[in-house]
Chain A
Amino acid sequence: MSAPQEAVIKMYAAREEIYPRETAGRYASLRWACVCLTQLLFYGLPWISYNGRQAVLFDLGARKFHLFGLVLWPQDFIYLAGLLIVCAYALFLVTTVAGRVWCGFACPQTVYTELFLWIERRIEGPRSARIRLDRQPWTLDKVGRKSAKHAAWLALALWTGFTFVGYFTPVESLMAGVRHLDLGPWETFWVLFYGLATYGNAGWLREQVCKYMCPYARFQSAMFDRDTLIVTYDRARGEPRRPLGRAAAPAGDPAAGDCIDCSLCVQVCPTGIDIRRGLQYECIGCAACVDGCNGVMEKIGKPAGLIRYATENALAGGWDAATVRRRLLRARVLGYAAVLALMSGAMAVSLALRVPLKVDVIRDRGSMGREVEGGRIENVYRLQLMNTSEEARLLRIAVSGLPGASIADAEVVEIGGAASRAMPVRVRADAGNAPGARRIAFTVSALDDPSVSVREEAAFIVPH
């Protein structure tokens, strides 16, 4: 009888807990710098005020986004599309040059996981202590440490949720609401939702988000080429591995590689992979293994860089840093850079030249044209005037395009700062214009600033 030819295997598996060991080194410091920078910005921004109100406030109720001196209206939605395009190309460019550095250093998933890991290490101890703690039966100490950890996580997560909502509701009144325990139902929901999502993602799901949820992780390969900097293990230098203290491979054996198989690179990895097996989709490019390995190399008196940022071409051809740098100027990088520069430039120019006044002309549909004194023809329009600056303004309305075209109502109207106003406007034209729909143009301009002027076309109907 032969052994069975097939075995039934399960197509799903429980997550195996990963206990990343804390690292110190160049890249760990860089990551902490990124964490501090992004989080100072995120937690701090809602508390800054500008011109007597919150500097950054996305007021959904009033449909106005305040960004310091800039007020964006729903009509400015195109800038969001522009911003997303700029972000996308920046991501493409950075990924082509240096792989997943966004993932490894600045992505909120990495940043919050880093913060949560820091708390975990302070309460439960280093990697070995945490593994031991999870394996041991429930004791008072374990219950205490676990509850302290989750309490600290929840506190940070809820503060994050609170800050997030603080971008949409004035943060001062939100704070008062928290203090007096009378937050609105939606504010409560979003604080809890965003807070618990942070808690779940950074505390429980961690690398699962990168491995199974994040689309970016899956399409990064489209931007990689053989000249992209990635975290790599220098196989030629490291193999064959030489475990320290193994009699079979005494120190100084010329055939032995530099890797001493200490497995530190695996222990520090937040996604639990072994970088020595080559580029894997789980690798988020955080370079924790680089820091780990460099520390070991220093201790055993070998040069750093057994695991390092290198390109596939550089590794295969043994290139020096200058050659790698020269390969930066390749078509793919230049193309992404050109589009990025173009889009950023277009965004900056259109924001700078933006007129803080918007005009919509809506012709009354029910009425065609009516005849008034002297056989003149009158049409009625509804003008929607939106003053997107912060100061009140006097606006002059003028109309042109037909003989004798004039406004039959007040030509100068006042409109408050960051306010909109709908008003009926009657336009008259001389008798004797040919019947049909004729083009006219409204020009609305500020009395105090001739550069603030908007022209809108409309149809003027001369009845038969």
Chain B
Amino acid sequence: MSDFTNGFWNWYIALVTLLSVAGCAILLWSQSTHKARIGADGQPETTTGHVWDEDLTELNTPMPRWWMVLFYLTIVFAVAYLVLYPGLGSYAGKLGWQSGRQYKAELKQADADYGPLFARYAGQSIEAVAADPQARAIGERMFMNYCAQCHGSDARGNKGFPNLTDGDWLHGGEPATIKATIMAGRVGRMPPMGAVLGSDKDIESVAHYVMNLSGAPADPIRVVFGKPKFAACAACHGAEGKGNPLLGAPNLSDKVWLYGGSAETVMETIRKGRVNTMPAFGEFLGEPKVHVLAAYVWSLSHPAQDRAVAAK
């Protein structure tokens, strides 16, 4: 693997590096002795002859030898480093060290450290895991890391991102279903119905009919006109608008709205349709972690006493 587009740069970098190290060695060697003028007393002069600010003279006082040795040690270090680690052009170094490999090794170490903990939970039912305070704390931290960006820190969702605490589920709220949702992700698809339903008036009528299903204030005349048109929606949402978890079609007769329940928003949804994606986390997190995460998500809509009963 090389980052260079041309073999020349490889050699250029290596040469500059080696010349710099050799240059340091030559500089140290050449500066370790000094030709001093012989003074009037027959002894070499102890000053360089430079004088500043009237009386500040620069002395020739020798450096301590250990200090010079430290400089030479830096050269030894540089050579050893260049032999062992990648530093000379595209030469990989004797140790074969790579940041990517180090990262993978650290991941492996972390899996080895925490694996047994997750393996213990993986052997229990999701309900039992949800009743374990430590597992819920782990799940909460994972939720904050991976889920809160869309579903919110309080898991109550946002426009387009479902509320996970209200007991209402698009694809089903059984523990195993929640786990499947996190593992494989979901795609929610509502086709645009504008062309199917006809004019804007027809769309408005269907919207008022849908709002009436959940008891929201609606124009009674529009509701009457909208009812027969709703047949086009019943294929997925059911004749009574109760939805179908197998298709991810929401229940329209409750007060939960993923995109908003005002007349304009419902009309927009009908006219243009909606496409929504929940990404799959199975490959990224691995099944044991998703198991704990699913337990936490399930626990959000199940109060403590329910969890205790379910665990038994």
- B150-173 residues with Cβ-Cβ distance < 8 A to A are 150-154, 156-159, 161
Cβ contacts under 8 Å, B156 to chain A: 370, 378, 380, 426
B148 pairs with A11, CB closer than 8 A: no
CB < 8 Å neighbour of B33 from A3, A9, A371: A9
On whether A364 and B153 interact (CB within 8 A), knowing A9-B36, A11-B31, A13-B65, the answer reads yes
Are A212 and B67 closer than 8 Å at their CB atoms? Answer: yes
**B115-158 Cβ-contact flags toward A at 8 Å (1 or 0):** 00000000000000000000000000000100011111110111
Complex Cα distance A90/B38, Å?
47
CB distance from A401 to the nearest CB of B (A): 20
Which listed residue (B38, B149, B153) contacts A4, Cβ 8 A? Answer: B38
In the complex, per-residue mask of B183-208: 1 if CB is within 8 Å of any chain A CB, else 0: 00000000000000000000000000
B286 within 8 Å of A (CB atoms): no
Q: How far is the CA of A332 from the CA of B148 in the complex (A)?
A: 58
Q: How far is the CA of A281 from the CA of B145 in the complex (A)?
A: 58
Known contacts A15-B66, A212-B67, A5 near B38 by CB under 8 Å: yes
Q: Which of B12-20, B56-64, B243-251, B304-312 contacts A (4 or more CB under 8 A)?
A: B56-64
| B223, chain A: closest CB distance, angstroms | 22
Name the residue of chain A whose CB is nearest to the CB of B71.
A12
Tell me which of B33, B37, B42, B154 contacts A10 (CB under 8 A).
B33
Q: B227 to nearest A CB, angstroms? A: 27
What 0/1 readout, one digit per residue, does chain A (234-267) give for beta carbons within 8 Å of chain B? 0000000000000000000000000000000000
Chain B residues with CB under 8 Å of A367's CB are 152, 157-158, 161
A15 CB contact (under 8 Å) in B31, B36, B65: B65
Given contacts A9-B44, A10-B33, A380-B153, contact A366 B158 (CB under 8 A): yes
Q: Is the CB of B37 within 8 A of A6?
A: yes
Closest to B46 in A: A9
* Contact in complex: A13, B62 (CB < 8 Å): yes
A325: interface (CB < 8 Å): no
What is the 8 Å Cβ interface bit string for chain B, positions 28-60, against chain A (1 contact, 0 not)? 000111111110001010000000000000001
Check A9–B34 contact: CB distance below 8 A. yes
Q: Is A8 at the interface (CB under 8 A from chain B)? A: yes
B residues less than 8 Å from A142 (CB atoms)? none
Which residues of B are found within 8 Å of A5, using beta-carbon distances?
A: 37-38
Q: With A and B bound together, what is the CA distance between A426 and B34 in angstroms?
A: 76
Q: Does A382 contact B (CB under 8 A)?
A: yes
Chain A residue at minimum C-beta to C-beta distance from B153: A424
The main secondary structure of chain B at its interface with chain A is: mixed
Is there a chain B Cβ closer than 8 Å to A41's Cβ? Answer: no
For residue A368, CB closer than 8 A to chain B, the reply is: yes
Contact string, B212-228, partner A, CB cutoff 8 A, digits 1/0?
A: 00000000000000000
Q: What distance in Å separates the Cβ of B303 from its nearest Cβ neighbour in chain A?
A: 15
CB of B158 within 8 A of CB of A7, answer: no
- CB neighbours (8 Å) of B151 from chain A are 366
What chain A residues lie within 8 Å of B159 (beta carbons)?
368, 370
B209 to chain A, nearest CB (A): 22
B23 at the interface (CB under 8 A from A): no
A14 to B67, CA, bound (A): 10
- Asked whether A128 is an interface residue with its Cβ less than 8 Å from the other chain, the reply is no
Q: A6-B37, A7-B35 are in contact. Are A366 and B148 (CB under 8 A)?
A: yes
Cβ contacts under 8 Å, B157 to chain A: 367, 370
- Judged by a CB distance under 8 angstroms, whether B234 is at the interface is no
Neighbour of A424 across the interface among B60, B154, B161, CB < 8 A: B154
Judging by beta carbons under 8 Å apart, are B38 and A212 in contact?
Answer: no
Give the shortest distance, in Å, between A335 (CB) and chain B (any CB).
24
Q: Is A29 an interface residue (CB 8 A)?
A: no
Smallest beta-carbon distance A200→chain B, Å = 11
In the complex, what residue of chain B is closest to A422 when comparing beta carbons? B144
A180 within 8 A of B: no
In the complex, which residues 76-91 of chain B have their Cβ closer than 8 Å to any Cβ of chain A? none
Q: How far is the CA of A370 from the CA of B67 in the complex (A)?
A: 67
25 A–B contacts, CB within 8 A, in A order: A3-B42, A6-B35, A7-B35, A8-B33, A9-B34, A9-B36, A10-B32, A10-B62, A11-B34, A11-B63, A12-B65, A15-B64, A211-B64, A212-B63, A212-B64, A364-B152, A364-B153, A367-B158, A367-B161, A370-B156, A371-B260, A380-B152, A380-B153, A380-B154, A409-B154
Binding site for A on B (CB under 8 A): 31-38, 42, 44, 60, 62-68, 144, 148-154, 156-159, 161, 260
